[in-house]
Amino acid sequence: MIIKKNHKIPLDKFIDYCLYDKKKGYYMKKNPFGISGDFTTAPNISRLFSEMIAIWTISFWKSIGSPKKFNFIELGAGNGEMMKVMIESFKKFPSFQNSCNIFIYEKSPKLIKEQKKNLKCKNIKWVINFKKLDKYPCIFVANEFFDAIPIKQFVKNKNNWFEKFVLFSNDKKAEFLNKKINIKNLENKINFKISDKQNFIEYSPLGIKYLKDICYNIIKNNGGLLIIDYGYFEDKMQNTLQGIYKQKYSKVLENICKSDITYNLNFNFIEKIAKNFDKVSTNFTTQKKFLTNLGIYQRAEIISKNKTFSEKSDIFYRLKRLVDKKEMGDLFKVMLIKNSNNNFKVGF
């Protein structure tokens, strides 16, 4: 996208430009993960997280009949750390490993390069289209994936709805403005009455498309989608848009193309989208409860045996970051979308 003076674009187009522009986009030109990046995700905090997701995946595979061929897809694999540990865990379960076709869905050439360097595995394929997956059962895992998808925002004022736009003074300076819209046209487009009982709307059109495509896949081929992300479950939508620059919160219109732009998922809205499909059901919990139910404390005890005091301290310090209510434990939520005839509840 070429930005011109007095160029006016919807918020989601602005975010897409900032994050995914081929030349300037934040995710397209750097690796933002880890100590030297702008943020650290759970797989980079402790390998225990990835081990738990691996065990969950194997358990879910068994719940769909242990198919001899199935697809495992990580959506947005960051620097590849979670997939790396999961593959190491899969090797301990030969029947699972031999049945598993591994895929990564990733838009950023820069991150694909990082993933390939970290993984060094010939059996992984990178895809940019879910529809090109082999028609086997699919298990999708999305850890901090949906929060990186561009969103739209709308505000209600005196029974009128306005969409948030961004006006560029030049390619480095911008300001917000609101543009009046017909909300019914939007609702007809997405086939969902999104404005019901709302005064503010925050949602991702592309996120809805991903959800719908995956739900169709689950119904047709069997499988499920595990979403792990920060968010909330209230009916009322909230303005959660934020920028992150050098590991600190920043204003969204500052440091254009140099900072991450993200938001908190409304899992209540995600559930409503999923439940539009008659043959799909959901489970929901916090990251703390999910990891605890999977046995992360017991696993920490096992790997800490025969370790020095400082090594044990490090293991449990990292574990605390994952599960403590004041850290990631309650802030991050977990949702499973699956076939309604599958009663699988491990972790929930």
**For residue 246, pLDDT beyond 80:** no
Reported pTM: 0.93
Question: What is the tens place of the pLDDT at every residue in 74-124?
Answer: 999 989 999 999 999 999 999 999 999 999 999 888 889 889 999 987 789
Alpha helices by DSSP H, listed for the chain, are 11-20, 26-29, 42-45, 47-63, 81-90, 94-99, 109-119, 183-190, 205-221, 267-274, 287-294, 296-304, 309-323, 328-331
Q: Reduce the DSSP state of residue 36 to 3 states and report it.
A: coil
> Any idea what the Cα angle at residue 148 is, between residues 207 and 21, rounded to 5°?
100
**Element counts in the chain: helices (H) and strands (E):** 14, 16
Structure tokens at 311: 């090594």
Question: What is the tens place of the pLDDT at every residue in 193-230?
Answer: 999 999 999 999 999 999 999 999 999 999 999 999 99
Question: What is the tens place of the pLDDT at every residue in 156-198?
Answer: 999 999 999 999 876 667 899 999 999 999 999 888 899 999 9
Give the whole-angstrom CA distance, residue 319 versus residue 30: 28
Q: Average pLDDT in the 254-274 region?
A: 92
| 301: enclosing H helix or E strand | helix 296-304
Q: Give the burial string for 161-178 (b: 16+ CB within 10 Å, else e).
A: bbbbbbbbeeeeebeeee
pLDDT band at 302 (very low <50, low <70, confident <90, very high): very high
Give the whole-angstrom CA distance, residue 146 versus residue 139: 16
Domains and CATH numbers, the chain: 11-295+330-339 (3.40.50.12710)
Structure tokens at 122: 């010939």
Handedness of CA 158, 163, 168, 172 (dihedral sign): positive
pLDDT-above-90 percentage for the chain: 73
pLDDT band at 32 (very low <50, low <70, confident <90, very high): low
Question: What is the tens place of the pLDDT at every residue in 8-28?
Answer: 899 999 999 999 888 888 888
Question: What is the tens place of the pLDDT at every residue in 322-344?
Answer: 999 999 999 999 999 999 999 99
Structure tokens at 93: 């379960």
